[in-house]
Amino acid sequence: PFFFLMIRRPPRSTLFPYTTLFRSMRMKKALVATLTAAMVFSLTACGSSGESAGGSSSGSKDASSSSSKSDDLISIGFAQVGHESDWRTASTESCRSTFSKENGYNLSFVDCDNKSADQLEAVRNFVEQEVDYIIIDPIVETGWDTVLKEAKDAGIPVLVIDRNIKVDESLYTAWVGSDFTAEGESAGAWLKAYLEAKKKTDKVNIVTIAGTNGSSAQIGRTKGFNKYVKANGWNLLDEQDGDFTQDGGQKIMESYLKSYKDIDVVVCQNDNEAFGAIDALKAAGKTYGKDGDIIIISFDATNAGLKNVKEGSINADFECNPLAAPYLEDIIKKIKDGGKPDNQKVYVDEACFACDDTVSSFKTDEGKEITMTVVDDKVLKERAY
């Protein structure tokens, strides 16, 4: 009715409800002023709620009125494996601290709780939200073709960290992670040198507590280590999936202790499984580590893992570096400036740690020179994670 009044004055019969109001000019002026103020207020109110809605958006661009502030930020959707281990916590923290609002990013983080279906759905949602970049740490290597084609069709660069992904290389922009097979080979070569140094070359009985089945960490570490099982005639009694968790490590170690009387070596494919295995060995009255009957090998070399190495509970720990985010940020900056990453695959730097200097250095069958770092307080203090 307000605009109606301003544009043209319709016949009174149309404006019947309002005519009584305009009987005096004074009344009309007051109403026009009130309606004008109301209109200005309502338009202003709309603008501010849009800003707060946009500013608080979780990075989704489907917030209909995202504020200019969040639009200036680079939006990233990150589908993380889960929260199963200390390593994972370090990986997540590396991404959160690198891709912070202060650094110019709007990070939408999804913890996929080790569920592949949830991870695929999270990536599909990022595509629908039209984020600027998608980061994936793939729970397993397979099943990615369709959703990555959707991301490619939407023009969203996909960056893969840590574990590998089995798709055509045209479906992702870059991968930053570890050579898991090399990690397994280093562990096998170290065990060979350690057994020789301890003059234990008769029958060697080994059990493996493997990582999440189908993950590239599990595939690579198993492949690399088992090359040395075969080459040295070691007796691999069993290998079962501990899902990279402490609970998984304990349960499987308990079952191994029931099934096998004479275990010489326990290979744990991450530190949290090693913590669980140690709990089971302790409860069974077994000795392990530096001065024990059972050798423990682990992977990740997290701070908690290296504390166990320093105490002598874990004999050797092979690093898997979770700090991929700074490598990714370099790649994003290159893409943002119209460039592309120098290499599509980037391997992070990794080291090998031991509880003592029984084996200080060795060459793997693959020709790689390895130097073991003995863990002491100084080493622990200098660790980034």
Positions that interact with ligand GZL (CB under 6 A): 84-85, 87-88, 162-163, 178, 217, 244, 270, 299-300, 320
Q: How many helices (H) and strands (E) does the chain have?
A: 14, 14
- Looking at the Cβ atoms of 87 and 172, the one nearer to ligand GZL is 87
H helical segments located in the chain: 2-7, 16-19, 25-55, 68-72, 86-98, 116-129, 145-153, 180-197, 216-232, 246-259, 271-283, 303-311, 325-336, 377-382
- Looking at the Cβ atoms of 132 and 137, the one nearer to ligand GZL is 137
Q: Cβ 128 to ligand GZL, closest distance in Å?
A: 27
- Looking at the Cβ atoms of 123 and 257, the one nearer to ligand GZL is 123
Q: Cβ 110 to ligand GZL, closest distance in Å?
A: 16
Q: Cβ 209 to ligand GZL, closest distance in Å?
A: 12
> 158 to each of 81, 141, 251, 355, how far by Cα in Å?
16, 15, 37, 40
| Distance (Å, whole) CA 63 – CA 48 | 14
- Looking at the Cβ atoms of 85 and 106, the one nearer to ligand GZL is 85
Counted residue by residue, the chain has a size of 385
| Distance (Å, whole) CA 142 – CA 140 | 6
The residue with tokens 């009255």 is 285
Q: Cβ 220 to ligand GZL, closest distance in Å?
A: 9
Q: Cβ 236 to ligand GZL, closest distance in Å?
A: 20
- Looking at the Cβ atoms of 270 and 315, the one nearer to ligand GZL is 270
- Looking at the Cβ atoms of 129 and 272, the one nearer to ligand GZL is 272
Q: Cβ 87 to ligand GZL, closest distance in Å?
A: 3
Q: Cβ 86 to ligand GZL, closest distance in Å?
A: 7
- Looking at the Cβ atoms of 156 and 320, the one nearer to ligand GZL is 320
- Looking at the Cβ atoms of 194 and 244, the one nearer to ligand GZL is 244
Closest to 308 in 3D by CA, of 316, 324, 159:
316
- Looking at the Cβ atoms of 89 and 232, the one nearer to ligand GZL is 89
CB within 8 A of 83, min separation 6: which ones? 89, 92, 111, 113
Q: Max CA-CA distance within the chain?
A: 112
Q: Cβ 326 to ligand GZL, closest distance in Å?
A: 16
> 301 to each of 1, 90, 91, 185, 271, how far by Cα in Å?
73, 11, 13, 16, 7
Q: Please, is 248 exposed, middle or buried when counting C-beta atoms within 10 Å of its C-beta (0-12, 13-18, 19+)?
A: buried
Q: Which of helix, strand or coil describes residue 280? A: helix
Q: Cβ 317 to ligand GZL, closest distance in Å?
A: 11
Q: If you ran DSSP here, which 8-state letter would residue 314 be given?
A: S
Closest to 178 in 3D by CA, of 164, 196, 195:
164
Q: Which residues of 131-149 are buried (b: 16+ CB within 10 A; e: fewer)?
A: bbbbbbbbbbbebbeebbe
